[in-house]
Amino acid sequence: MLVRLPESLRRTPQGHEAEAILRSCVHCGFCNATCPTYQLLGDELDGPRGRIYLIKNLLEDETGPEATRRHLDRCLTCLSCETTCPSGVRYGQLLEIAREHLESRHPRPWRERLLRRGLRLLLTRPRLLRRLLPLGRAAGPLLPKSLHPYLRAARPAPPWPRTPHHSLHTPGAAGNDGAKHPKAASPGRRMILLEGCAQAALRPDLNVHTARLLQRLEITALRPPRGGCCGALSLHLGARTEARHLARANIDAWWPQVEAGAEAIVSHASACSLMLKDYGRLLADDGAYRDKAARIAALSRDLTEVLAAEEVAALRPRHVKTIAFHAPCTLQHGLGLAAQAEDMLRRCGFRLLPVADAHLCCGAAGTYSLLQPDLSHRLRERKLAALTRERPDCIATANIGCLLHLQGAAVIPVRHWLELLAEED
Ligand code: SF4
Ligand code: SF4
């Protein structure tokens, strides 16, 4: 693609990156075939190729910011187009640059800015969200319907597993039962657990299940004080500076344990796993954090990867379930781990049923279900029809966003796959 960005933009790292990505697109349009919004709306500008043209025009001479924003807002950031593209176009990175460009140079009307700022403020702060949940439930009928599944889904946290003796002491942190331990033997295998933000408030039980599951594999899950949101939500809403700030805060919180030999940073939410693996790129131009960010990214593992590398036969449930597995977009298109996850689930004893159009997004996509409820619900209907066609016992997934979104309309249980293993604790 012929691209002529203004010199002032080309000199910035983002402009340089955007130009390289735009030039790699050969307009073939293969990506449209697997784009959920193009399938729903049938408009070239709601497919990846059209969006790439809109971004090019915007970056070249600020053409059509309002139309560009409208079509980019409808994009799920599902990355299905990246999986399909034969030319390796990094659409997700281009979209990230374009969103930040739009937010900084063509601000939204104040109501939209307020809503997005409110979502970022609330969803990235688990303590605040936890305190506001009872209020939200009381005001339920007055709140938008898209919020109801999230309010209904909230659960209390079960107790954390007790820290095994061999892993009692880690510099800079308490053990995973929150207690300080003065002496210890060999530290054993340890992994830092990303507890997340909205997830830590709504479904803290998933973090406890992860800690217990790791313990069954003789791995201690460390809970660093001051660790927080991974930054994905801010990044997807065009607030890159905020995302970088959150990434730096996590690096500072985790670094003492990384230096003390923690072997990985683990997350059971594939969206967060993808973000952590991107820290190196996110902070590549930050001299103070570049090397640490690259190290954190290299140590990051989705829980699926951790289990795939372990002997999981011992985790096999007594009562085998027949499941329809929904691989979140972040797991399949972002991390490329869908096949590995399915294989791991089979080795754990689950029977997996075939699911049509498994590459398509369920419509959750972070805050998409709140900001684009109509498209989001249409995608959910399609996804649930595909997932329930073969009559599974339940639907299993691997990301909190998909789980809550599908739960909002499913007629059978929707669970995180690790819950299914935890049932046998
Ligand atoms: S990220 Fe998903 S919704 Fe957006 S253009 Fe690509 S395939 Fe379409
Ligand atoms: S498939 Fe790739 S090269 Fe072809 S139009 Fe889409 S992004 Fe461009």
* Strands (DSSP E) found in 124-175: none
Name the one residue in this structure whose structure tokens are 């640059």.
Answer: 97
Q: Output the pLDDT for position 167.
A: 39
SS (H, E, C) 270-302: HHHHHHHHCHHHHCCCCCCCHHHHHHHHHHEEE
Q: Output the pLDDT for position 158.
A: 83
Q: Output the pLDDT for position 15.
A: 94
Most confident of 160-164, 166-170, 231-235: 231-235
Across all residues in the chain, what is the average pLDDT? Answer: 89
Q: Output the pLDDT for position 415.
A: 94
- Radius of gyration over alpha carbons of the chain, in Å? 21
Q: Output the pLDDT for position 279.
A: 97
Considering the entire predicted model, what is its pTM?
A: 0.89
Q: Output the pLDDT for position 122.
A: 86
* Strands (DSSP E) found in 223-285: 264-267
Domain with CATH 1.10.1060.10 in the chain: 7-105
CATH code: domain 7-105 is 1.10.1060.10
The mean pLDDT value for 378-402 works out to: 96
Residue 185 confidence class, pLDDT cut points 50, 70, 90: low
For residue 314, pLDDT over 90 is answered with no
Cα–Cα distance for residue pair 24/19, rounded to 1 Å: 9
Mutate to test the pocket of ligand 2, among 21, 23, 25, 54 (most ligand atoms within 8 A of CB): 25
The mean pLDDT value for 386-395 works out to: 96
- Which tokens go with 122? 């609330």
Q: What share of the chain has pLDDT > 90, as a percent? A: 70
Q: What share of the chain has pLDDT > 70, as a percent? A: 93
Ligand 2 center to 99 CA (angstroms): 19
Angle at 239 (CA atoms; ends 27, 401), nearest 5 degrees: 80
Ligand 1 center to 60 CA (angstroms): 22
Domain with CATH 3.40.50.1860 in the chain: 313-422
The mean pLDDT value for 72-97 works out to: 97
CB 364 within 8 A of CB 405: yes
Q: State pLDDT tens for residues 124-158.
A: 888 888 888 888 777 777 677 777 777 777 777 78
Q: Kind of pairing, strands 264-267 and 219-222?
A: unpaired
Class of domain 313-422: alpha beta
Q: Is the CB of 49 under 6 A from ligand 2?
A: yes
Q: Output the pLDDT for position 212.
A: 92
Residues having CB closer than 6 A to ligand 1 are 35-37, 48, 51, 75-81, 91
For residue 356, pLDDT over 70 is answered with yes
Q: In what order do the strands lie in the sheet with 414-416?
A: 351-352, 322-326, 394-397, 414-416
Q: State pLDDT tens for residues 254-294.
A: 999 999 999 999 999 999 999 999 999 999 999 999 999 99
The mean pLDDT value for 314-334 works out to: 89
Ligand 2 center to 53 CA (angstroms): 11
Residue 381 — φ and ψ, nearest 5°?
-55, -50
Residue 174 confidence class, pLDDT cut points 50, 70, 90: very low
Q: Output the pLDDT for position 403.
A: 94
Q: Output the pLDDT for position 424.
A: 52
Q: Kind of pairing, strands 322-326 and 351-352?
A: parallel
Q: Output the pLDDT for position 346.
A: 92
Q: At what angle do helices 290-299 and 240-259 cross, to 10 degrees?
A: 70
The mean pLDDT value for 76-99 works out to: 96
Cα–Cα distance for residue pair 328/398, rounded to 1 Å: 6
Q: Kind of pairing, strands 394-397 and 414-416?
A: parallel
Ligand 2 center to 333 CA (angstroms): 15
